[in-house]
Chain A
Amino acid sequence: MKKNIIMLMIICLVFSLVGCGKNTPTDESTITIAAAASLKNCVDDVLIPMFTEKYPDIQVKATYDSSGKLQTQIEQGADIDVFMSASMKQMNELAEKGFMIHDSIVELLENKIVLIVPVNNTKEIREFKDILKADQIAIGDQASVPAGQYAKEALTNLNLWGQVIEKASLGTNVTEVLNWVAEGSADAGIVYSTDAASTKKVKVVAEAPEGSVSKVIYPVGIVKTSKDEASAKKFLDFLQTEEVKKVFESYGFVAK
């Protein structure tokens, strides 16, 4: 009986090893992208399929969250090859701390900061000043969400920040902010024009006034601990092709 069990275990072990050998093609690699939540639709729906069609031997996995949280994850050693941030701040901090390959960092895209309201909004919010008419305001947490930092910058320059923060619900990523407004939970919110373009449930009432907010740059770079730098580099080059620029533009970005 004992012998049988041992035999069975050996057979199982052998089978598992055989399985191993068969299931691992030698020339396939996987890269993991960590991208700002605002890039999700574009990357998931178009860019990854497009890239894997071009490079069938490279698997692309993607994770999306606020750039601040992704920064923390990269600092804690998350297995990430390419970082697409929604703000220079996170990228610069990571670069300074030595987490990024310096010369891989590229300024890829530009986005706009806009004020949105639910489609059937009755609060007569027409410009940034009117934001105080809202009972609840959704913005990104300025401590971790770039869209929130830009919102704070614009509102501070317009002398509205102190009153806005009193009734602000702070989203931990920009998609959460968008959904809060789309569902009508909040009467107004500040997001990127690309987010606003992704749903019919919100209406853009104003762009942040010229000069009130710094330019929203999306940088991209390769993480130093990447196990497959060559594939990551291919992805970065792919992001800068004319073809991909057109895709970005269709999603409301300005390609640099």
Chain B
Amino acid sequence: MQMSPIIISMKTASAAIAFTFLLGIFVARWVVNIKSEKAKMVLDGILTLPLVLPPTVVGFLLLIIFGVNRPIGKFLLEFLGVKIVFSWPATVIAAVVISFPLMYRSARGAFEQIDPDLVMAAKTLGMSERKIFWRITMPLALPGVAGGGILAFARGLGEFGATAMIAGNIAHETRTLPLAIYTEVAAGNMEAASYYVIIVMSISFLVVALTNYFSLKERKYLK
């Protein structure tokens, strides 16, 4: 068993959750505040899409965006000298896109569950929107938001399909745990694969346990 897939996976999942966490909260807050129900529905559909699409479809779409023969990928390569595909950042991009809906939906759910009277009360007392968000909304929504963050982290850690398509399978560079497992199984090295499997299962179990802990806290909080 090599250590590099474990390290790469942890690095990828950590970098991805940093983006996903902030992006998810920001976008959820934005969508919650949209007045038009129709616009909300369409937007929600688009933002949730990566959750229900096969990861290979997401990988395909990412390839259309970042592939070196495609407009954006070409631009990045020719003008900035950045090749996204087959590089470590590609694993992060795949993980962010795939795990985003989990974060976004959890945060949105948490925001919508907050008693609007509390927000109204703050408004009558002259609190600014920004202050209300940080002092009232966020603390109340925190357990849900944290739970979403943990789920999104786990999903990013497990990302395989889209990663294989845009990041490839380069040892010590883009070979994450799921790719390492796939490679070992394909080669018939069940033993090597089983070590990686145990690691992924341990982390995933820890994550579910943590999520339960947060939801328990949330329930106590609401009571």
Q: State the A residues within 8 Å of B (CB).
A: 66, 68-69, 71-72, 118, 120, 135-136, 138, 141, 143-145, 165, 167-172, 176, 180, 183-186
Contacts and interface: CB of A to CB of B under 8 A. Distances in A.
Interface residues of B, number: 22
Given A66-B186, A143-B189, A144-B183, A185 B170 contact: no
A166 to B, nearest CB: 9
27 contacts: A68-B188, A136-B86, A136-B168, A136-B170, A138-B168, A141-B169, A141-B186, A143-B186, A143-B187, A143-B188, A144-B183, A144-B187, A144-B188, A168-B170, A168-B171, A171-B169, A172-B164, A180-B168, A183-B63, A183-B67, A183-B85, A184-B68, A184-B85, A185-B67, A185-B85, A185-B166, A185-B168
B194 interface: no
A143 B170 contact: no
Contacts of A185: 63, 67-68, 85-86, 166, 168
Interface string B161-182: 0001010111100110000001
A74 to B, nearest CB: 12
Nearest to A201: B69
Nearest to A118: B69
Q: Which 5 A-B pairs have the closest CB atoms?
A: A143-B187, A169-B168, A144-B186, A184-B68, A185-B85
A155 to B, nearest CB: 16
A141 B68 CA distance: 23
Interface of B: 63, 67-69, 83, 85-86, 164, 166, 168-171, 174-175, 182-183, 185-189
A119 to B, nearest CB: 9
Contact of A172 (B67, B86, B183): B183
Contacts of A72: 185-186, 188
A185 to B, nearest CB: 4
Contacts, number: 72
Contacts of A118: 69
B67 A184 contact: yes
A183 B186 contact: no
A145 B164 CA distance: 16
B188 A170 contact: no
Nearest to B175: A170
B147 to A, nearest CB: 34
A69 B186 CA distance: 5
Nearest to B168: A169
A145 B188 CA distance: 11
A144 B83 CA distance: 28
A165 B171 CA distance: 9
Contacts of A136: 86, 168, 170
A135 B83 contact: yes
Given A136-B168, A136-B170, A143-B189, A170 B67 contact: no
A72 B168 CA distance: 23
B183 A141 contact: yes
A167 B174 CA distance: 11
Contacts of B174: 169
A143 B189 CA distance: 9
B27 to A, nearest CB: 29
Nearest to A68: B186
Given A144-B188, A176-B164, A169 B69 contact: no
Given A169-B170, A176-B164, 19 more contacts: A69-B185, A72-B186, A118-B69, A136-B86, A143-B189, A144-B187, A165-B171, A167-B170, A168-B171, A169-B169, A170-B183, A172-B164, A172-B169, A183-B63, A183-B68, A184-B67, A185-B67, A185-B68, A185-B85
